Structure 1
């Protein structure tokens, strides 16, 4: 194998090994990033739970304070309602918390809120009153108002004698919850479920419960309908608030928080990033970009390498003195010539008495003569013909698809041109006589091996030397078969 071919293969192997290493490193780096993302995703539940405490529980706390407010209790127990004072009280509360405050009075059988709504208990929109009144709990969170779904915090009011006198509290527009929960879902991809004491979903990120039929009788969804809930029930004995659930080749991390004030639970269901389609889309897109950059780098790398390789090839294949191809080049070209042609004429030429020229005139003059001979041999040859310096004062010519007669004519012309040319040494008036002998052989490429590549041409050259030099001889095969 030629040195440059080995060089190409080694460089290619190194390049792709580097690419593979970078891809593998990028993959595991990406996995680490995703792992970090998962950790951040889990840590995101901390601000979520903090928001739940501030935005879900604080309205209940405010409602409890309202139920114990002496001024409100006094207004409720009056024989004649001072609606103006009640409206003022409710407006102040609603403005401070940007909430919808309300009061329902047992003695007068009516309710009013900060939006100016006033209803008798006989109205269908006041059906909640009797239902919640029968409950043992002194407070409850319930969704009402079918046109504008609102989470109401209903707190029972009692006078100094601990007699039940009505309800008061505030309502939070579910759009506020939806906006915040949607933000968490968009940022981290998890679902949030608020579950009441009976196990029904009160609020969630994928479907906020509405009240199109009073008390949501037609919209109740129980948490047990979700398959991951069974894993939660199995984990309850271990007193953990986080567990994993596998479903359809996806891994979910489920975290829960108890809202004791409302007897609610909050579940956060977060799919693992590595099991999400988004992960693979990101990975494939990054890999595609990386592959594109790698290919651009590859072609740029080998374009630059090709420029250097040309210099390397030139240094390895060109004789520095004559500028002709050298023996290394011929050895490489040999295999290609065998594939391209059926016959190949091999010519070996040798400068006659070159040693005496070096001895009498010096090696510098000898080098100049070699250069001049190289130019004479290269003149008037076809593009497919090859002239090379074989070694010392010996030259080689390869003439594809050329008959012996044509080869003899070419070599005879070259011989005469060299013999007729004037070569000078140190003296510019006394030319040096330079002649050259040639040996020709026509070889059949199918049977040719490099070991006998020039053997027959060498024999013909030896015959030319023996017959007096400055002549052309052709190798004669047995039975005159060429």
Structure 2
């Protein structure tokens, strides 16, 4: 986890360096054509990059990294929330990153802030929690805390069994954004407008457009937008020239994909500057889109690289089947998808005598050949893994217990009639089968325990048999 956290930060730093380098290159190229004018326009876009990277992307990736920490899951998943420990952790994060973090606990329906305050999460009084709790999204950007309006990044937290524990995230007062916007506008005269997918204005350099008291200004309510044609209103606003309070402004549009927001950069133009400014802004925004796209590609490559590493660590080297850890994760995923699952525990009979009589090399050959045979007997949806030693585990999704017994009987008969060759000898093997079933969410250990009881009964009854043990309801 520390390696990937470092990689994420390194990529973010690389993203900033590349952006600044390319914008600087554009600056010197354009300055040969329109020296002072182009230089001023190039400098005016640097705050846009700084805003996106420092104010939006950096908090997002820091939060994405921290939300995976076991310390956070342990705090939020504890039977009794240790509020002192929660505040201590939030204050430490505040000191380390200089941001205002929060935890919203599902267990006791209370929100804790790094400044030491709390809010009771009462349905009807606090709408965001209950709205986003039921959302399919795990990462949400939102505006809230209306008495001191904040921009929030909310990330869902789950335990190892994918049970929802609440939200973790970071909040920034809109006053900090307005201060940045004010300095920018005073120097260059440019305006920012951030809008969500419904064109509600979430952030803006114009304080009158900033959300307040749970009310958002919509982009379609602005006078200059109403003056656009119907076709222009429904399409992209990129490179449109609009008139605001008697002055011409050129709009540059940039999609902020992680939040599904759009940034509208409003550039004031004199009539003789329009064409040059249009080309310059289009070039810079195109570069931003390309760099941002490359950043997302690298980020996703790292994500899949991490998944591949995890997959490699979850393969049994001898049989090349999923190992115990992988099978446990697969079971949890099936249960999370609300699938009924039959579980078959397969134990090779008298396997230790193979190792003792013929050696471990012969035992390894037996395990590999049996693993290959079992895979051939599986249906497409079934999952086979090595549970440990001479035991295999078979997961049968959406399969009833009696159908699972039939499957186990087929495999048992196939194995009993199979001749295993080790090069110098032939070996006959049998196995005992324990079958169990669950149609409701349960821990794998509970279902395994029932299958183990069935397996013990099969061994006790002479081996090479299939036995079923259903879980007793309490």
The bucket for the TM-score relative to the shorter chain is 0.3 to 0.5
In the superposition, the TM-score normalised over structure 2's length comes to 0.46
